[in-house]
Homo-oligomer: A and B are copies of this chain.
Amino acid sequence: MRESGRRAFLTGGMSLVACAVLAAPRPLAAQTAPSSAGPADPRLVEDLVAANRILVDQGVLDGYGHVSVRHDRDPSRYLMSRSIAPELVSVADIMEYDLDSNPVDARGRTTYLERFIHGEIYKVRPDVTAVVHSHSPSVIPFGVTGVALRPLYHMSAFLGGGVPVFDIRAASGQMTDMLVRNPALGHALAQALGAHAVALMRGHGNVVVGVSVPQVVFRGVYTEVNARLQAQSIALSGNVTYLDAEEAKRAEASIAGTLGRPWELWKRKAMAK
């Protein structure tokens, strides 16, 4: 899985998802702990730890938020930290979950309340290998104003397909505590995300997906950067030129081949702290 992730990361493409196949009614969560897919590739776990710290370093995560990656041996399992601040995550904190977001081997460790974001997206997006949920500060205003987040420079071309906003109140038909705290809400968020790279969550943050850990980190960072630059551009003038759809498609493909450059830098800096 990691190798195929690497391959997709190098070619940059993102295939459309046949959502319907996986959108069938889900069984109730298992009453007993699911079985393990076995130990994950240590390099994948290391990258997952780095991703948590990088996204803090880059101002995307604060004391909250989480990053997951699909298990390299079994696409029906994913890896994510126990419930601690992302800046403090280390290898020993990484836990394995099934796609209903049940921990394989909790051993008393607490889990993120919103882990269903990850499992439900992995269910309906077989092309996705990594997921970030964040309170990325510059995207919050876009989630609460109806102003569409759109790519205005090449680094954020992956936003070119559009950025849907998930309103948990509309999706659930009721007042909630704003948290994606069960499989149904996770599924609704995954449906809102559709085949896109990013979905905003009204009054909350965003969710970002990718075909590899480096790609999802890159997307998390440049979603934040684009939001900041777009707000500044709108303040400067009512007449902003965004990337054309064709430009965005081509730029995304080209930039995909360069992700290793910031990734190596970010990882070195974040892990040296």
Residues of A whose CB lies within 8 Å of any CB of B are 62-64, 83-85, 87-88, 113, 135, 137-138, 140-142, 144-147, 152-155, 157, 169, 175-179, 181, 202-205, 225, 228-229, 231-237, 239-244, 246-247, 250-251, 253-255, 258, 261-262, 264-266, 268-269
Contacts and interface: CB of A to CB of B under 8 A. Distances in A.
Contacts of A255: 177
A135 to B, nearest CB: 7
Task: Name the 7 nearest CB pairs between A and B, nearest first.
Answer: A63-B262, A145-B237, A177-B250, A85-B265, A154-B178, A141-B233, A177-B254
Given A137-B225, A177-B251, A261 B85 contact: yes
A17 to B, nearest CB: 24
The DSSP consensus for interface residues of chain A is helix
A264 B82 CA distance: 14
B63 A153 contact: no
25 contacts: A63-B261, A63-B266, A64-B258, A64-B261, A64-B262, A85-B262, A85-B264, A88-B268, A137-B225, A137-B229, A140-B229, A141-B233, A144-B241, A145-B237, A145-B240, A152-B203, A153-B203, A153-B204, A153-B205, A169-B244, A175-B247, A176-B250, A178-B250, A203-B243, A231-B236
